[in-house]
Amino acid sequence: MNTLFKKKSSFGVSPIGAVLSYLILGFWAFLILFPLYWIAITSFKEPDAVNNGPFYIPFVDFEPSLHAWKYIFGTEGTGTITKFTNTVGVSLISTFVAVSLGTLAAYALSRYTYNPKVGTVWTFVGCMGLAIALGAMGIGWMLAIAVALVLFIISLLTLSRRVFKKSLDNGNIAFWLISQRIMPPIASVIPIYFFFQAAQNAFKDAGLEIKLIDTWFALILSYVAANLPIVVWLMRDYFDGIPKELEESAAIDGANRYVTFFQVVLPLVVPGLVATFLFVLVFAWNEYLLALFLTNANSQTMPLFVSAQNATRGPQWWYLSVLVLIMIVPVIGIAIVLERYIARGLLVGAVKG
Amino acid sequence: MSRPTFLDRIDRAAPAVFLLPAVLIVLLMSIFPLVLSIYLSMSRLRFEAGKTVLDFVGFDNYAKFLFGNEQSVLIGTLSTPTWVGWLFLAAAMAWAVYSLIRSARVEGIGGLLSNLLNTLLLFGLIYLAISTIFSQSGRPGALVVTMIYVIVGVTMQYLIGLGLAMLCTQQLKGRRFFRIVFLLPMMITPVGVGYLFRMLADTNKGPLVPFWDVIGASGFTWANLPWGARTAVMIGDIWQWTPFMFIVLVAALEAQGVEPIEAAMVDGANSWQIFWNITVPAITPASITLILIRLIEAFKIIDLPNILTNGGPGTATETMTLYAYRIWRATDIGGSAALAYLLLILVTIVATAYATFARKNLSN
């Protein structure tokens, strides 16, 4: 990559071109930084300074005050810290799980050959439909699912080899995984809520007091499912870019498939892994709709806390600004890391697909 | 052959061990909800002495939106197109006929049939957009408004993102600074972006008041004008999502080799020729995937219109997801699920049409 940059500089940029470029880049940077500046100064404004505005420069136009910061970290202190911890915990854990599972799946789809039978897929869909029909008739969800599952396994063992001929390939599986992103979250969020509620009730009937709604677990599981497709999409291209000879020679040396993957292949895709991790982390960090449905008091995340500042008296701009600022700061660190990896040309593998 | 040892068996199970966890989670958390919401979309929620009951109502919920009393909100009011509308309509008609004839000639009768449904659906959407936007007394509903946001938003994001990415891959001092700054909007929570733009767009106490005064529009209320409010939402969306296009295009531009460009320069090609004949083909594969991803994600827009305009004035800026969310809050869960399914169908039509178009016309 270094040599590439040096070569590029050999045909450099003309002075007029450079000035024009800086003008345009500067203009867009202003369009991005000015709103952020406005948020920053709003967080130091008294309500009067916001409502009688616009005031632009602290100490000149208005007297800055720490009242909003004191409110968020003092009066609301424990709540803020809980919500911040929830956001950090849920997004870190869910991203870690999504990237781990997604990377394994992406590697498998890039290297091994799968051919699931079309018939098996339809049998599964049919059994799921049956489970829902039974559940809707009032048999009890756990029983309905168990019946459908048993039926599916029986038909799989008896029918699959003889009856089902037409089969799918890796491309179909990958497309199916990725196409899950097409589903609007509003379509899945209500069933997911019902799902956790039903599971919670079923545990209760079995005498177990396990809470699911309003816990980290529910949020993490739904975020993992929502972000897995992105990981598979990004990571599969990285693995496709790695020559197969490496694994073949490792296999000749007697390494099993797990050792080969973890010790030979994985180290080669670490940059892609980091970039993917950061992408997914940002999505989880900012997620709003699922959190809105799945949390109440205990595991609320920051985006909900931000929108909660829109009180009956109208939006509390100063509190909102503080919260948006403390949500941005960690993410700026992410932007810096992400930029480093792109600058080294390491996201490249992901975009060639 | 000797009997496989325990370790051999584990080794041979690797393909399943690697793939199954992901597939199972997606099955549990995506496919199961998808199937369950078909059932929800065909039922109506009823409250009955301390509990809720779901009544099966068939396709009533869908009929309500497509033909019934919610039609004007989802689809809008149709009316005779103006002459501009007729012009667009004629162009769309010509395109539809051309694409059908072409697919019939290239792929035979089978190709024609498979293309027919897609073309008809797409033409129907275009007709809908024209007779609600470019018409005498029409009014676009949530479906058309969502499509406007998606098409204008994704186009602008791509063009701006590409321009910035080209500037940022030059040898300029401080380009790292610009790259980091340009990434920032994507990283702010959409809820925060909504409130941020509500502050900026405030014509009484926002930072742009001097600007409104200069152009003689002080006290101007964009929020009361349907197109003013829609423009505000689109500007916010473009601001937030240009970085996504930018970051991937920077990577794509840096991945292209230098040799073809140098060779072209030696042959005396100007920079426009280099851009059009070398850079564009090099970034086309990445662009196709990138636009598809953004297209799919853009249809889900909810936070920005919800916070910036609350869907108003009236329902002028309401997107399909926001609409589904609003009727969900009114405890019409069946209607909400039906609407989400209609959106799923819409996204699938548009994404398929785009993917087909890209595969046929761009990939070589």
ipTM (interface predicted TM): 0.85
Number of H helices, E strands in chain A: 17, 2
pLDDT, mean of residues B205-226: 77
Co-location of B14 and B112 in the same domain: no
**Average pLDDT per block of 10 residues along chain A, 353 residues long:** 41 78 93 92 83 77 81 82 91 94 91 81 82 75 80 79 71 78 80 84 82 89 90 82 81 82 84 82 88 86 85 80 89 81 54 44
Contact at CB, B187 and A331, closer than 8 angstroms: yes
Q: Which residues of A touch B301 (CB under 8 A)?
A: none
Half-sphere exposure of B165 (CA within 13 A, CB side): 27
| Lowest-pLDDT choice from A227-236, B254-263, B299-308 | B254-263
Residues B133 and B30 in one domain: no
Q: Is the domain of B294 the same as that of B351? A: yes
Residue B146 touches partner A, C-beta closer than 8 Å: no
Please tell me the predicted confidence (pLDDT) of residue A121. Answer: 80
Q: What is the mean pLDDT of chain B?
A: 84
pLDDT of B259: 78
Per-residue pLDDT band at B32 (split at 50, 70, 90): confident
Restricting to B residues 218-277, those with a Cβ less than 8 Å away from any Cβ of A are 239, 247-248, 250-252, 254-255, 258, 261-262, 265
The pLDDT, as a whole number, for residue A350 is 45
| pLDDT for residue B3 | 67
Does residue B65 fall inside a structural domain? no
Residue B56 has pLDDT above 50, yes or no: yes
- Do the chains contact at A338 and B181, CB–CB below 8 Å? no
Same domain, yes or no, for B206 and B281?
yes
pLDDT band at B238 (very low <50, low <70, confident <90, very high): very high
- What per-residue confidence (pLDDT) applies to B151? 93
**CB environment A41-75: b (16+ within 10 A), e (fewer):** bbbbbeeebbeebbbeeeeeebeebebbbebbeee
Give the confidence band of B218 by pLDDT, cuts at 50, 70, 90: low
**More confident: B363 or A66:** A66
Residues B318 and B355 in one domain: yes
Number of domains in chain B: 3
Domain range enclosing B29: 6-60
| Residue B242, in any domain of the structure | yes
Instruction: Please give the structure tokens belonging to residue B3.
Output: 């009997």
Cα torsion for B228, B231, B233, B237, to the nearest 10°? -170
Peptide bond into A229 cis (omega under 30): no
- DSSP letter assigned to residue B140: E
Q: Which residues of B are less than 8 Å from A330 in CB distance?
A: none
Judge if B30 and B80 occupy the same domain: no
In the structure, what pLDDT confidence band is assigned to residue B350 with cuts at 50, 70 and 90? Answer: confident
Helix (H) or strand (E) holding B54: strand B51-56
Q: Is B83 in the same domain as B200?
A: no
| B295 and B354 assigned to the same domain | yes
- Which residue, A99, A111, A227, is CA-closest to A170? A111
Residues B172-189 pLDDT 10s: 888 888 988 998 898 888
Q: What is the pLDDT of residue A9?
A: 41
- B148 plus B208 within the same structural domain: yes
Q: Which domains does chain A have, with CATH numbers?
A: 79-114+184-189+199-353 (1.10.3720.10)
pLDDT for the residue numbered A217: 92
What average pLDDT does range B57-66 have in this prediction? Answer: 86
Residue ranges in chain B assigned as alpha helix (H): 6-12, 14-26, 32-41, 60-66, 71-74, 83-133, 142-168, 175-187, 190-200, 209-214, 226-255, 259-266, 271-274, 280-298, 303-308, 320-329, 333-361
Q: How far apart are CA A128 and CA A120, in angstroms?
A: 12
> Which of B120, B140, B160 delimits the end of a domain?
B140
Question: Which residues of B fall within a CB distance of 8 Å from A37?
Answer: none
**Are B271 and B304 found together in one domain?**
yes
Q: Do A53 and B205 touch (CB under 8 A)?
A: yes
> Same domain, yes or no, for B319 and B171?
yes
Is residue B299 pLDDT above 80, yes or no? yes
Give the pLDDT confidence score for residue A165 in this predicted structure: 67
